[in-house]
Amino acid sequence: DLVHRRLAGTAHNTDDVPMVTINCAALNERNYEHELFGCAANVYTGIDRPVIGGLARASYGLAFLDEIGDLDPAVQRALLVFLQDGIVRPFQIEPFSGHVSVIAATNRDVPLLVERQQFRNDLNQRFGYQAEILPLRLLEPAELARMVDFAAVSPRANSTGSGFAVTHIAQDAMTRLLAWEYADGNFRELQGIVQTGIAAARRRGSKVLGVRDLTFVE
């Protein structure tokens, strides 16, 4: 989301800058072509209309390649070609330039995958800036608190569209959120706990997320 907002620039309107999330773990030799690049109608069984692939939908915006460490080897080459020349090649449709910023994430050890020849080194090298994100349980309390706040202000989960937004997190709830170990170690776990809690607070008519609203899975 932060990268998406940066791409939106000074207008602060992310609606004008598409962001498309692509689950790389779900891509394989049979579906990657139309899922990533698109295709004409009736070229695959069950597809009776043209398909706009994820990279095409992300044109002039951001494509987030989630779980790239699970990318099928056959798909890695196609993605590498796109990252090299920026051309979207829909099946049986004229290729076009895909002006897309690409960011990827994985919970796997990519250098180890490269060493085992399970991930292409040339594809890995296309991502010029790489950073290791610490598990949530290793973050300083202040950093974790900022991530809690970020999850809470998500317009998808906490907007005024259905009446009111949750505006505060009670101290006892924040204490529990900061103390939780987050076994999965990632933001999704925290996000799920916070946003489920927000839904519970709103159901009871409260603008304050309290400890009673939080559900932790042991």
**Rg of the chain, C-alpha, whole Å:** 20
Instruction: Encode pLDDT of 52-75 as tens digits.
Output: 999 999 988 899 999 999 999 889
Strand 96-97, strand 87-88: pairing? antiparallel
Mean pLDDT of the chain: 86
- pLDDT: which is higher, 183 or 110: 110
Lowest-pLDDT choice from 35-39, 101-105, 162-166: 162-166
Over residues 139-156, mean pLDDT: 88
CB atoms within 10 A of CB 105: 14
Q: Would you place residue 15 in the very low, low, confident or very high pLDDT band (cuts 50, 70, 90)? A: low
Q: Would you place residue 11 in the very low, low, confident or very high pLDDT band (cuts 50, 70, 90)? A: very low
CA–CA distance from 212 to each of 28, 73, 110, 160, 194 (Å)? 43, 46, 40, 22, 12
* C-alpha–C-alpha distance, residues 23 and 29, integer Å: 14
- Using an 8 Å Cβ cutoff, are 20 and 10 in contact? no
